[in-house]
Structures are given as structure tokens and as C-alpha cells.
Amino acid sequence: MTAGAPLLRVEKLVVEYRTGRLRAPKRVIDDVCIEIAEGETLGLVGESGSGKTTIGRAVLGLAPVTSGRVLFDGTEISRMGRRERRDQAQGVQAIFQDPYSSLNPSMSIADILAEPIREGTPASKRERVRELLDAVALPSDTGRRRAREFSGGQRQRIAIARALALNPRLIICDEPTSALDMSTQTRVLDLLRDIQERTAVSYLFISHDLGIVRAMSDRTAVLLGGRLVEEGTADQIARHPQHPYSRRLQLATPVADPVLQEQRRETRLQLLREQAAAGIA
């Protein structure tokens, strides 16, 4: 994972939602700035409701940008119309959390993978589908089957193949392993690392698990209540977090030793009580 010039730049991003005509808008992302270089992985970590998925959706054009800018390869994409955004979309793709709902059950896998590919002959599209299946270590006959015939790990491999169909330069990985068992998680993460080594694609890797983020990322940004509270190298944030909330996330990372795990649990509960008394969410 080698870092080069910034590929994605998010500047002072604010996202607000209205829950009713007479209610004031609710700010869910507040003044967030992040950058991702070519071939780099930025881990975005926080508990449920912290706003990390909303940032990914704002980059993808799926969440409204109230103020601030999202720039991809120097071009502002946060103010683009639907048609302009569609033309730009091949550079940024996504892998979502739930492999069961992210694939159309009525389509064959070959059709799912070929759907984003607008150019080329039917033969060239079939060849591209074979290449994509090979890239995620699935047999060539996978294309004839439907998503319901596959396990969760296999479905997530198909979702990864679909994200690769247009040779993107950035992939938003939104909790891509949280719906999978531990051994399957490991294999999918290994696949994502292998793909990055072969293609130099950049990742925005979103997760609530600081341990997974450390294993996958070059740098880590910690999100609390829609605001960034800490950023540094993945190793720094995982080993020596400075913000109390980052420390909480560190203590929530499971370890194999049951005695140490219980000690970490007690320390985390004590930290929660202290932070609650101090008014820290």
C-alpha cells in the first residue's frame, strides 16, 4: 500500500437531514476533512450512529452535501448533476455491508457483473465476467447461477467483483465483513488486500471494529457524533489512542486471552462511566 498524490479530498463536509417540515435540520456530519492517496487505505472507524456510512454515501452521491466539497482526482463531484455523476461513477465504486440484499436475486451472476459495462460486444462482456470471477477466486460456472445459491462469503466475493467491473480507482468498503463469520471475514479481507496489491486501488474502509481497521488501513480516522476526533497511522490509533473515545474503541477490540478480555471489558466499562460523568458521548 503505497501512498501517492491525493485521489479523494473531502473538505469541511457538512450533511444535514430534515425529519419534518417544521423541525430544524439535524446535522449528522459536521466539518469533516479527509484525504486518500492513490493506492492508500483510510480506515474510518466509529460506533453505530457515528456517521461513518453517511460520509461514504456523500462520496458516492447518495447523501446530500449541505456544505463543503468532495473532490475526486481534483474534480468536485459533490455538486454534479445525476448525469454528470453517472459518467464520473466508474472511478468510485462501493462494496456494501449485506451481501444478501446488495445482489439482485432475479438476475444471474453473469448479468449482475455485466450490467455496469456499457461498452463492448457480448463476447467481450462475457470475457470480462470470466476475468472478474477469476479475480475473486470463484469458478467460471458461477456466472450461470443466481445469488441465492451462494453463501454469504461467496456473495460478498461477487459484490467485490461487481465493484471491480469498471476498474475503479477508489472503492468505498462499508462494513464489508460485518455480516460474515470470523473465518470468512479473514478470507475476504485477504482478498481485498490482494486486489489492492494487484491494481493499486484506493479504499475508504468503514468499520466499527478498530482491530479490522488496523489490519486493513494505512491511516485511521476516528468519528464520533459526526465529527473527526482523532487521526493518525493505523498502528498509532490502535496501540496508542489519544482521545478517550478512541481508547474506548481500542478496549472493545476482542483478544484471544479470556482473562485479558475480561480485564479490558471492566476497564472499558469504567471508562464509559468516567466519560459519561464528564459529558463525553
Per-residue pLDDT tens for 228-244? 999 999 999 999 999 99
The pLDDT score that the predictor gives to residue 1 is 42
Per-residue pLDDT tens for 82-120? 666 666 657 999 999 888 888 888 899 999 999 988 888
The pLDDT score that the predictor gives to residue 78 is 85
CA geometry: angle at 180 spanning 32 and 265, to 5°?
Answer: 70
Q: Is the pLDDT of residue 263 over 70?
A: no
Q: 6-242 domain in CATH 1.10.10.10?
A: no
Strand order in the sheet with 170-174: 92-95, 170-174, 202-207, 41-45, 219-224, 227-233
Of the listed ranges 7-16, 91-100, 109-118, 246-255, the one predicted with least confidence: 246-255
The pLDDT score that the predictor gives to residue 3 is 46
Q: Is the pLDDT of residue 72 over 60?
A: yes
Kindly report the three-state secondary structure assignment for every residue of 52-109: HHHHHHHHHCCCCCCEEEEEECCEECCCCCHHHHHHHHHHEEEECCCCCCCCCCCCEH
Contacts of 168 (CB under 8 A, 6+ apart): 90, 91, 92, 93, 201
Q: Where in the chain is the domain with CATH 3.40.50.300?
A: 6-242
The pLDDT score that the predictor gives to residue 19 is 77
Q: Is the pLDDT of residue 121 over 70?
A: yes
Q: Are 2 and 164 in contact (CB under 8 A)?
A: no
Cα 112 from Cα 157, distance rounded (Å): 13
Per-residue pLDDT, averaged over 192-216, amounts to 95
The pLDDT score that the predictor gives to residue 252 is 76
pTM of the predicted structure, to 2 decimals: 0.87
Cα 107 from Cα 121, distance rounded (Å): 20
> Which is more confidently placed, 266 or 16?
16
Burial of 252 (0-12, 13-18, 19+ CB in 10 A): middle
